[in-house]
Homo-oligomer: A and B are copies of this chain.
Amino acid sequence: MNILALDTSTKRISIAYKNETNVVSVTFEGKDKHGRNIGILAKYLKEIGVNFSTLDVIGVGIGPGSLTGLRVGISLALGLAVEKKIVSVPSTKLIAANLMYCSKNIVVARKARQGYLYGAVYDENLDEIISPFIETIEGFKRKVSFLKDAIVVGDGADLLFEYEKAEEFLSFPDPLRMLNIVEDEIKNQNFVEKLNPLYLQKSIAELNFEKRKGGRVEKT
């Protein structure tokens, strides 16, 4: 079984590949945009022996996260996955996987628009306690306030003081952990027909408007 897993929802591009004999992974974080880098990485993977034409399953992190970045990864995956099987995983779960074997509840907090955070909560088996959402910082805190003994991971973690904070470099998906999750989904035959990004962004727009309007009303 030949598997390719990728996530482009954060500023890190994460790709992992597995065939009968090889396991390969790459990550890339840089200034340039994903649209440029993913091609370079694909080229590089091809040269170190990744065979894109014999893939059986494509696993994709579907966000929430950077809109353009996400679409670059998902449309590449769609091209790769024609007539193949697809597994989709929320990128928040991929980030939570960096804290596997931590016995606490794992709160993923990622920066969205100023004043807002993407979030999701997982238990130690990476089962969803709260599925991906977007909230103001205050709203986020209210939403997770019932959790005892939680640890926060993600590039929005520093906005939530109440909980223990995981180290910063664990804030983005790890390719080999992603591969592991994708393999689990394959075992459970959790394939999808379509790949839809978890935009969640409609809500931020609405919320933002409410907030700004609210602000203005208070002033007048």
Q: Tell me if A28 is interfacial: C-beta within 8 Å of chain B.
A: yes
Q: Tell me if A160 is interfacial: C-beta within 8 Å of chain B.
A: no
Q: Tell me if A205 is interfacial: C-beta within 8 Å of chain B.
A: no
Q: Tell me if A162 is interfacial: C-beta within 8 Å of chain B.
A: no
Q: Tell me if A151 is interfacial: C-beta within 8 Å of chain B.
A: yes
Which of chain B's residues have a CB closer than 8 A to the CB of A175? 27
Asked if A26 contacts B25 (CB within 8 A), the reply is yes
Asked if A28 contacts B24 (CB within 8 A), the reply is yes
CB-contacts of A163-220 with B (<8 A): 166-167, 169-170, 174-177, 179-180
Q: How many copies does the complex hold?
A: 2
Interface range for A: 35 or more
Asked if B44 contacts A166 (CB within 8 A), the reply is no
Asked if B179 contacts A169 (CB within 8 A), the reply is yes
CB distance from A69 to the nearest CB of B (A): 16
Q: Which of B24, B40, B166, B180 contacts A27 (CB 8 A)?
A: B24
Q: How far is the CA of A82 from the CA of B124 in the complex (A)?
A: 45
Q: What residue of chain B has the Cβ atom nearest to residue A106's Cβ?
A: B101
Q: Tell me if A103 is interfacial: C-beta within 8 Å of chain B.
A: yes
Which of chain B's residues have a CB closer than 8 A to the CB of A100? 99, 167, 170
A-B pairs with lowest CB-CB distance, top 8:
A22-B30, A101-B102, A23-B29, A25-B27, A44-B44, A21-B31, A26-B26, A169-B180
